[in-house]
Amino acid sequence: MIPPDASAAFVADMEEVLEVYHRPRDPERPLVCLDETSKQLIVETRAPIPAKPGQPARHDYEYERNGVANLFMMFAPLEGWRHVKVTDRHTAIDYAHVLRELSDVHFPDAAKIVLVQDNLNTHKPASLYEAFPAAEARRLVERFGRVSRRDCTSGFSQNWT
């Protein structure tokens, strides 16, 4: 049954993504989920009071902002593998370098990596061409079969297969 606020295209695209999640493990085509988030970095302004028997440590609510870090989170559920890459920013260049690391360091023997990720503006083949010479960018594009998802409420779309 199609939810009232969803279209038939939404359901078709969602079923396509869900089918990817039901594929059996294939070491030649590992399924890797990629997401990112930013994390505020803070500095304590007062020293915490250490724990004592029967009393937990106490931390003051006051803190000083100390910038933001970006976390690229990679997870290959059928491989039992996960990795977090911390970067200063989340740009197309950062994304491209994460893909190259995923390809060449973490899954160098895979024929193709099935990449499930959201549809951010940096999650495009153009990011690879922005970061690397054309031949290297093309090599990386061909290493990935990509399934993109928007989110659970707005639908799914498949790109870059």
Reported as a single tens digit per residue, the pLDDT across 52-111 is 999 999 988 888 898 999 999 999 999 999 999 999 988 999 999 999 999 999 999 999
- φ and ψ of 42, to 5 deg: -130, 160
Q: What are phi and psi for residue 150, nearest 5 degrees? A: -80, -75
pTM over 0.85: no
- For residues 60 and 49, give the distance between their C-alpha atoms in angstroms, rounded to a whole number: 9
Q: What is the structure's pLDDT at 146?
A: 64
pLDDT digits (tens, 9 = 90+) for 45-69: 888 899 999 999 998 888 889 899 9
Give exposure, 98-136, as e/b (b: 16+ Cβ within 10 Å).
bbbebbeebbeebebbbbbbeeeeebbbebbbebbeeee
pLDDT at 153 (0 to 100): 29
Q: Identify the CA nearest to 36 among candidates 79, 68, 78.
A: 68
